[in-house]
Amino acid sequence: MKVELDKSLALPVSATAGWSLVENIEGMAACMPGAKITERVDATHYKGTITVKLGPATVSFKGELEVVAIDPIARTIHVIGKGSDTGGGSGASLDLNAVVKETGPDACELSGVSVVNVTGKVAAFGARLMGTVTDQLLKIFFDNVLAKAEELKTNTVPAGSTGSTGSTDAPAAPKPAAQAVETKFNGLAFAWAILKDFIAGLFGRSKAG
């Protein structure tokens, strides 16, 4: 089963700063709930895991990522990945193209187009429920990327800035910390999302009938 995604996220930092987040593969992986890079094989190959806990059940995947192409000037990256769950009942592959575009002096947009193919038990959920799962995961992922961007913005002092008095001796006033990155997948929210999707589909079929 194939799921196609086309998403964008506005970031409150320059395109250069936004790109610094995207090219950090380990950092971006950490923004995905349950995901972790376990090994950096070389500059373009990584191994990792992703675990989702739903009540008493836990589903774990092991996989590999490859950075097929990366262009710091154009701020584009192409990543492919594949993996299977530890029980051997499901598999998944990813083909992602992302770009960071400048939208202002201190603003940019992260856009990504990806194709995800799933097989086995996971595919039995169907395209609609897989779409619901993906939307939940991406929402958390985007929230985490945005939190990192806010933190980067908070910790960045403009070049030549010395404060209102012009003195360079006094330290800058502390700024509020960015929101902590959420690294766990909320199984309850996931279950609720599936229930809402099921009810919506049920009523949709009833009206059609």
Report the run of H or E that residue 110 belongs to, with start and end: strand 107-120
Is the pLDDT reported for residue 165 higher than 50? no
Nearest Cα to Cα of residue 61 among 28, 94, 31: 94
Distance, CA of 176 to CA of 151 (rounded, Å):
9
pLDDT at residue 200, as a whole number: 53
Predicted model pTM: 0.73
Superfamily of structural domain 2-156+180-208: START domain (3.30.530.20)
pLDDT at residue 173, as a whole number: 43
- Integer angstrom CA distances of residue 31 from 22, 36, 111, 208: 11, 9, 16, 40
pLDDT at residue 4, as a whole number: 85
Domain boundaries, the chain: 2-156+180-208
Over residues 24-55, the pLDDT tens digits come to 999 999 998 888 899 999 999 999 988 766 54
Mean pLDDT lowest for which of 31-45, 75-89, 116-130?
Answer: 116-130
Contacts of residue 142, Cβ cutoff 8 Å, sequence gap at least 6: 7, 9
